[in-house]
């Protein structure tokens, strides 16, 4: 009962915060008389969202597709490349700094270059999403696998375990909590990357993604629709983040300190 009440409170209070901000926004716009094309009130945004619901839903699906595929590629690639780099000390010393430097290059700046290599549209969104979300996964995987307890390494050394066997049975499971943290950061970035890819490639038509909807609505001075589309990009990001968090929790809930505190209490 108490636990239920705590969970309800955990949901209710953030909602109250959102309600306060939206209320202040609505009242502020009405009192100050700001033109709706500069700053539409929340009710106008909600109305725009409802009126264009079919188009927005399709756009959201399109953006979610690009972000999710890009994220999945980055997750798989990051864990794989990160594992190889972590296993081979020479690579760790030589490639890790390079990866850090490459991560500093803003995706917006290189996006036009990407157009040379892949088709506009969904491929651009996927590639752009994958590029921005790769580094957090890579870095977290390398750090996680490089920080394996040396005592446990010795255990495998005593049994003369092969490198691959040690990686599969020790390094990889040990690094799961760290990698999940990297994946959660990557989930949010993937949506940003996808929208940037959409901005640059500018594909449209009936299957326009949210990035294109935002650009088109800006040109038409439909600020309410811009806000509606922006709100939906955050929904996509939040959904991806939530899904990753859930999977991560399911993986480590039995044994990692971040999840087993309740079990510890029983001792």
Partner 1 sequence: MTRLPPTLQFDRVAREFAGGVRAVDGVTLSLAPGSLTAVIGPSGCGKTTLLRLAAGLDVPTAGRVEAEGASGSRSARSVCFQDPRLLPWRRVVDNVALPLELAGVPREQRQASALEVLRAAGLAHASRMLPAQLSGGMRMRVALARALVTQPQVLLLDEPCSAVDEFTRMQLDEEILRTFRACGATTMLVTHSVSEAVWLADRVIVMARGRVHADHAVRVQRDRRDRGDVGFLSEVEHCMRLLAAASGRDAA
- List residues near partner 1 by CB under 8 A: 149, 151-152, 154-161, 165, 169-170, 173, 252, 254-256, 260, 263-264, 266-267
From the CB of 250, what's the least distance to partner 1, in Å?
13
CB of 231 closer than 8 Å to CB of 239: no
Q: Describe the chain by its helix, strand, coil percentages, rounded to 5.
A: 85, 0, 15
Q: Which is nearer to partner 1, 100 or 263 (CB)?
A: 263
Judged by phi (left if over 0) then psi (alpha if -120 to 50, else beta), residue 243 lies in alpha
From the CB of 187, what's the least distance to partner 1, in Å?
23
From the CB of 173, what's the least distance to partner 1, in Å?
5
Buried b (16+ CB within 10 A) or exposed e, 31-64: eeeeeeeeebbbebbbebbeebeeebebbbebbb
From the CB of 255, what's the least distance to partner 1, in Å?
4
From the CB of 243, what's the least distance to partner 1, in Å?
22
CB of 86 closer than 8 Å to CB of 92: yes
CA distance linking residue 238 with residue 249, whole number of Å: 16
Q: Which is nearer to partner 1, 231 or 252 (CB)?
A: 252
| Segment holding 223, helix H or strand E | helix 223-252
Question: In angstroms, what CA-CA distances link 156 with 58, 89, 168, 180, 259?
Answer: 52, 18, 12, 25, 26
Q: Which is nearer to partner 1, 1 or 257 (CB)?
A: 257
From the CB of 246, what's the least distance to partner 1, in Å?
18
Q: Which is nearer to partner 1, 15 or 158 (CB)?
A: 158
Q: Which is nearer to partner 1, 6 or 266 (CB)?
A: 266
CB of 111 closer than 8 Å to CB of 196: yes
CB atoms within 10 A of CB 118: 16
Q: Which is nearer to partner 1, 2 or 159 (CB)?
A: 159
Q: Which is nearer to partner 1, 160 or 219 (CB)?
A: 160
From the CB of 67, what's the least distance to partner 1, in Å?
30
């Amino acid at each position: 009962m108490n636990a239920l009440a705590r969970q309800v409170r955990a949901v209710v209070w953030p909602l109250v915060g959102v309600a306060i901000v939206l209320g202040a926004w609505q009242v502020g716009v009405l009192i100050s008389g700001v033109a709706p094309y500069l700053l539409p009130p929340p009710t106008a945004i909600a109305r725009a969202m409802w009126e264009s619901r079919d188009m927005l839903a399709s756009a959201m699906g399109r953006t979610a597709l690009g972000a999710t595929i890009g994220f999945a590629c980055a997750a798989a690639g990051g864990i794989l490349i990160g594992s190889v780099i972590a296993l081979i000390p020479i690579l760790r010393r030589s490639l890790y700094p390079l990866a850090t430097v490459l991560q500093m290059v803003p995706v917006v700046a290189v996006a036009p270059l990407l157009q040379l290599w892949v088709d506009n549209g969904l491929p651009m969104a996927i590639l752009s999403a994958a590029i921005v979300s790769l580094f957090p996964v890579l870095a977290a995987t390398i750090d996680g696998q490089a920080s394996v307890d040396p005592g446990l390494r010795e255990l495998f050394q005593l049994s003369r375990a092969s490198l691959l066997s040690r990686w599969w049975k020790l390094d990889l499971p040990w690094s799961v909590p760290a990698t999940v943290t990297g994946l959660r950061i990557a989930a949010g970035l993937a949506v940003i990357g996808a929208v940037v890819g959409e901005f640059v490639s500018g594909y449209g038509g009936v299957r326009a993604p949210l990035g294109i909807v935002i650009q088109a609505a800006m040109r038409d001075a439909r600020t309410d629709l811009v806000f509606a589309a922006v709100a939906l990009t955050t929904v996509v990001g939040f959904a991806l983040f939530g899904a990753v968090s859930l999977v991560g929790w399911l993986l480590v809930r039995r044994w990692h300190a971040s999840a087993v505190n309740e079990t510890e209490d029983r001792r």
